[in-house]
């Protein structure tokens, strides 16, 4: 080799080694700078809402993340049942429901022979905060099926990011999940963390004996202040003059829910503190998010999160956007205002984190557990065919067909979306092949107006090999999923009769589309439009911390978050 060629080769090798070393050094530096992982989940925040309201965001909230972080605009869940526990556990574990086991807010408990709320655990009751800790005003249809007020993560079948962080640092990392909903807090805290959630019975933030024997002093002091009760006889009012809102004309639609005096138009009165729905109304307003923020501040101060060299983890799951959506819809004036007020709440949160931990030492990850469907009546006004379909209608049709085809009375045991459950005992007594029965009943369901797909556990019907079927299969767990997965047509409502005006939970794009934003040490400001998935979030956080992903994670680290400016790849 000529000397000049040798010199050139050595130069190239040296540059390459320098670049790789520089890259490894930079990534190590970024890891050392992370003292707190702050995972913000906005329940029900469909990704396009950030675009719709973005011109009115202030400084420091959503705008801070959008301008400083790596923003993914095309993130979609890959499972079919886009419900709260499913999405949160997917974010926490990086796994599909088929792996982590949380297939829905409710599933059939085969051991006890009845429907079960996802995180209920009689072994770990909620620790009471006051004597009169039960008003019984629960509007969440999922929680009505809970047989016990005990709560724990014991039924989550996969390790979470928090669990991995605890193992990596020998239990020295502090891990917390807080939320307006119990299932959101519990899923994100994982098995190794501690969880607190808002009680619509008392307005306190509660926990269970899985986490503590008694409330820590800071939590007791927070609850003692009774901050929620300070909103008695007040109202939810608009943040800005009504004329500045894009959806100002959407304030009084007949298909919105008037929650026993809460009204369909602004202002929405909370009522008196002894009203059974008082604390629930607070959650269906920006107040729920503000109370959660204040609780989070007390937690960060008291537990000294982010104050040493071991990274801590705090998940804050804001619930008010989802609650407002269920009663007023995502294209309502109420939705616009709750998102704009959440923007202020986030600005307050990030300012607090800057003062206590430092944003330069904080990895912030923002996403959502699911999107949200428009109300069927609203879409019908726009010219689409969309109606309401109720479970009792499906069961009636199926039972009639079961009598005709198989001579069985009551072949459908019950339906809780998205699963229809058949009566195993009656099918066995008739000496019928279970797979044949499932296939036949699925065919009956497919004939019902408003049903797009009915996929039995024994396998899809002919010509059902679609992307949606793949989503359904990712949602399937053999011991928890029902017999036939039922999917309504886009924008059709398929849920129980009651105060809920609109519902998420479908495999359609409006329910799967969520924002994903990373901001923090070493992360560049950029917007990415390629398709990614929420299962990628936990592996990406793990990579930023230099850890192995959670054990069952099925996603991949996002390369744009991990890349550093000026490095060779």
**Sign of the four-CA dihedral 501, 504, 510, 514:** positive
**Sign of the four-CA dihedral 366, 372, 378, 382:** positive
H or E stretch at 99: helix 97-100
Do 173 and 322 belong to one domain?
yes
pLDDT at 20 over 50: no
Q: Which residue has better confidence, 154 or 11?
A: 154
pLDDT at 133 over 90: no
- Tell me the DSSP string of 400-467: HHHHHHH--TT-EEEEETTEEEE-HHHHHHTT--HHHHHHHHHHHHHTSTTEEEEEETT-PPTT--SH
Q: CATH no. for residue 404? A: 3.30.1360.150
Do 276 and 397 belong to one domain?
no
pLDDT at 1 over 90: no
Task: Give the pLDDT score at 148.
Answer: 77
Do 446 and 475 belong to one domain?
yes
pLDDT at 10 over 50: no
DSSP 151: B
pLDDT at 458 over 60: yes
Please, which pLDDT band fits residue 564 given cuts at 50, 70 and 90? Answer: low
Q: Is 461 exposed, middle or buried (0-12, 13-18, 19+ CB in 10 A)?
A: middle
Q: What percent of the chain clears pLDDT 70, i.e. is strictly above it?
A: 90
How many independent structural domains does the chain possess? 3
| Mean pLDDT across 217-228 | 98
Please, which pLDDT band fits residue 30 given cuts at 50, 70 and 90? Answer: low
Q: Which residue has better confidence, 4 or 324?
A: 324
Please, which pLDDT band fits residue 112 given cuts at 50, 70 and 90? Answer: confident
In-domain check, residue 130: yes
Task: Give the pLDDT score at 12.
Answer: 36
Do 163 and 290 belong to one domain?
yes
Please, which pLDDT band fits residue 135 given cuts at 50, 70 and 90? Answer: low
Query: Who contacts 254 (Cβ-Cβ below 8 Å, separation ≥6)?
Result: 377
Do 12 and 157 belong to one domain?
no
| Mean pLDDT across 353-378 | 98
Do 18 and 86 belong to one domain?
no
Terminal Cα-to-Cα distance of the chain (whole angstroms): 28
In-domain check, residue 60: yes
Task: Give the pLDDT score at 5.
Answer: 44
In-domain check, residue 192: yes
Render pLDDT for 466-517 as a digit per residue (tens, 0 to 9): 899 999 999 999 999 999 999 999 999 999 998 999 999 999 999 999 999 9
The boundaries of the domain holding residue 127 are 34-379+512-528
Determine if the peptide bond prior to 267 is cis (ω within 30°). yes
Longest CA–CA span in the chain (Å) reads: 92
Do 207 and 320 belong to one domain?
yes
| Mean pLDDT across 325-334 | 98
**Sign of the four-CA dihedral 338, 340, 345, 350:** positive
Do 62 and 209 belong to one domain?
yes
In-domain check, residue 548: no
Name 117's bridge partners: 106
pLDDT at 568 over 50: no
Q: How many Cβ atoms from other residues are within 10 Å of residue 368's Cβ?
A: 30
In-domain check, residue 495: no
Q: Which of these, 457, 464, 458, lies nearest to 480 by C-alpha position?
A: 457
Render pLDDT for 513-552 as a digit per residue (tens, 0 to 9): 999 999 999 999 999 999 999 999 999 999 999 999 999 9
Render pLDDT for 262-316 as a digit per residue (tens, 0 to 9): 999 999 999 999 999 999 999 999 999 999 999 999 999 999 999 999 999 999 9
In-domain check, residue 547: no
| Mean pLDDT across 111-124 | 89
Q: What angle do CA 47, 48, 52 make, to 5 degrees?
A: 135
Q: What percent of the chain clears pLDDT 90, i.e. is strictly above it?
A: 85
Task: Give the pLDDT score at 140.
Answer: 67
Please, which pLDDT band fits residue 16 given cuts at 50, 70 and 90? Answer: very low
In-domain check, residue 14: yes
Task: Give the pLDDT score at 11.
Answer: 36
Do 348 and 442 belong to one domain?
no
Task: Give the pLDDT score at 163.
Answer: 98
Q: CATH no. for residue 40? A: 3.40.720.10
Do 353 and 318 belong to one domain?
yes
pLDDT at 144 over 70: no
8 A C-beta contact, residue 74 and residue 531 = yes
pLDDT at 27 over 80: no
Q: Which of 130-134, 291-295, 324-328, 395-399 has the lowest mean pLDDT?
A: 130-134
Please, which pLDDT band fits residue 114 given cuts at 50, 70 and 90? Answer: confident
Task: Give the pLDDT score at 415.
Answer: 93
In-domain check, residue 227: yes
Task: Give the pLDDT score at 136.
Answer: 47
The verdict on pTM exceeding 0.75 is yes
Do 345 and 404 belong to one domain?
no
Do 17 and 137 belong to one domain?
no
Mean pLDDT across the chain: 92
pLDDT at 38 over 60: yes
């Amino acid at each position: 080799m000529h000397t000049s060629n040798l010199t050139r080769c050595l130069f190239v090798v040296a540059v390459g080694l320098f670049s790789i070393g520089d890259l490894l050094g930079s990534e190590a530096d970024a890891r050392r700078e992370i003292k707190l992982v702050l995972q913000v989940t906005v329940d029900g925040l469909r990704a396009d809402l950030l675009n719709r309201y973005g011109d009115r965001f202030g400084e420091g909230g959503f705008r801070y993340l959008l301008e400083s972080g790596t923003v993914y605009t095309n993130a979609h869940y890959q499972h079919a049942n886009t419900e709260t526990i499913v999405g949160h556990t997917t974010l926490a574990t990086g796994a599909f429901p088929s792996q982590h086991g949380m297939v829905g807010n409710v599933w059939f408990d085969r051991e006890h022979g009845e429907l079960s709320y996802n995180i209920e655990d009689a072994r770990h009751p909620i620790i009471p905060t006051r004597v009169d800790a039960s008003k019984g005003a629960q509007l969440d249809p999922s929680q009505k099926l809970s047989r016990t007020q005990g709560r724990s993560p014991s039924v989550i079948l996969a390790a979470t990011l928090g669990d991995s962080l605890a193992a990596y640092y020998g239990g020295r990392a502090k891990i917390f999940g807080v939320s307006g909903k119990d299932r959101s807090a519990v899923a994100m805290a994982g098995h190794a963390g501690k969880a607190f959630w808002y009680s619509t019975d008392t307005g306190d933030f509660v926990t269970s004996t899985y986490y503590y024997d008694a409330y820590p002093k800071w939590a007791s002091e927070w609850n003692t202040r009774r901050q929620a009760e300070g909103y008695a006889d007040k109202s939810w009012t608009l943040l800005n003059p009504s004329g500045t809102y894009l959806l100002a004309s959407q304030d009084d639609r007949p298909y919105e829910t008037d929650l026993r005096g809460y009204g369909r138009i602004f202002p929405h009165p909370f009522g008196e503190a002894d009203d059974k729905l008082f604390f629930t109304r607070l959650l269906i307003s920006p107040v729920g998010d503000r109370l959660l923020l204040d609780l989070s501040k007390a937690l960060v101060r008291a537990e000294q999160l982010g104050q040493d060299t071991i990274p801590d983890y705090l998940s804050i799951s804001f619930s008010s956007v989802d609650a407002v959506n269920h009663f007023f819809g995502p294209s309502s004036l109420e939705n616009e205002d709750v998102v704009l007020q959440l923007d202020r709440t986030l600005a307050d949160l990030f300012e607090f984190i800057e003062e206590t931990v430092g944003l330069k030492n904080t990895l912030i990850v923002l996403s959502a557990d699911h999107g949200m469907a428009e109300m069927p009546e609203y879409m019908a006004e726009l010219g689409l065919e969309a109606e309401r379909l109720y479970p009792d209608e499906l069961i009636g049709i199926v039972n009639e067909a079961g009598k005709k085809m198989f001579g069985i009375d009551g072949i459908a045991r019950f339906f809780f979306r998205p699963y229809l459950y058949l009566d195993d005992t009656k099918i066995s007594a008739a000496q019928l092949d279970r797979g044949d029965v499932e296939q036949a009943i699925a065919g009956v369901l497919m004939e019902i107006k408003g049903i797009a797909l009915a996929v039995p556990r024994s396998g899809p019907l002919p010509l059902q090999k679609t992307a949606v079927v793949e989503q359904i299969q990712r949602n399937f767990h053999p011991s928890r999923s029902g017999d036939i997965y039922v999917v309504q047509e886009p924008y059709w409502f398929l849920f129980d009769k009651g105060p809920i005006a609109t519902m998420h939970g479908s495999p359609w794009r409006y329910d799967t589309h969520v924002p994903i934003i990373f901001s923090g040490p070493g992360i560049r400001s950029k917007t990415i439009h390629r398709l990614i998935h929420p299962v990628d979030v936990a592996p990406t956080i793990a990579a930023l911390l230099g850890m192995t992903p959670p054990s069952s994670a099925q996603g991949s680290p996002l390369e744009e978050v991990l890349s550093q400016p000026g490095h060779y790849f």
